[in-house]
Amino acid sequence: MRFSLRHVILAAWIALPAALAAAQPVFAAGGTSWIFPNPVSPNGERIYQLYQWITIPAVIVFLGVEIGLLYIIFRFRRRGPDHVGKPVHGNVPLEIAWFIAPTLIVALIATLSFLELQQDFQKPTDAETQMNITVTGTQFTWFYDYPDNGGLRARDTMVVPTDTFVRLTFESTDVIHSWWVPAISGKTDAVPGYQNFSWLKISSSKLSDCGGGSGDHTQTGCKWHGECAELCGVGHFGMQIDVEAMPQSDFQAWVAKQQAASRQPSPKASPSPKGP
């Protein structure tokens, strides 16, 4: 049985969706999707949807270009040393169409991306803010300051209460760092001498299964992982990020525990024994 180009293209169209469908349960079992982990904050959800809308035309364009190339390669290939191909002249309507179509697609993607940036990466108003956290990147760790909780400072892990709109202010003490927890929000740079803003609001409903499995269960809630997305020096690999969400009562207990620990005096060094 001889296979033609149409058979190859048809087989590819059938095999690709089948392979994707077969692999999806494996990704879902780990709490992930084809783009990034299941989002647990409204702004993360909007970024997730934006990526989906961008991916759809990208996949269509990619498949269209590749299939067109395969068709041209097989249909118009040279069939022998004496074969001379038929001259093909320009097609003005086609050239106009493949100029306008990409322009419209790119313009749509740019518009949607700009609207998303304006909605989720501007400084939230005081009226909608229920809690403030200052995120400080430094070589090579993250600090989290809680001005609404007596100036409490935490390191490496940000702890937040559920159902609370938290305004995040990003700063840096040295070089540019980039705070990124894919399940919560997009990348936000921490720049020396400049403040960037974002926010999060994790629903208590996400704690039952840690947002579809994208996070890990803890004793009081769930924890989602991220990392610095900017190459910031030799210790860049150590700038890991954890965000733990818990009910309001557990959060208040955590704050009280941290404040009590900060008030404890540090142990004094014992004097070295005197010699004989």
pLDDT value of residue 206 = 92
Ordered by start, the domain boundaries in the chain are: 1-76+94-263
Contact 144, 134 (CB under 8 A): yes
Of all residues in the chain, the percent with pLDDT exceeding 70 is: 83
- Cα separation, 193 vs 173, whole angstroms: 8
- Cα separation, 170 vs 136, whole angstroms: 6
Contact 175, 169 (CB under 8 A): no
Would you tell me which CATH number, out of the four given (2.60.40.420, 3.40.470.10, 3.30.470.20, 3.90.1640.10), belongs to the domain 1-76+94-263? 2.60.40.420
Please, which pLDDT band fits residue 134 given cuts at 50, 70 and 90?
A: very high
pLDDT value of residue 21 = 53
Q: Which amino acid is at 254?
A: W
C-alpha atoms less than 13 angstroms from C-alpha of 15 in its C-beta half-sphere: 6
185-240: per-residue pLDDT in tens? Answer: 888 999 999 999 999 999 999 998 998 888 899 999 999 999 999 999 999 999 99
Q: Is the pLDDT of residue 87 over 50?
A: yes
Cis peptide before 140 (omega within 30 of 0): yes
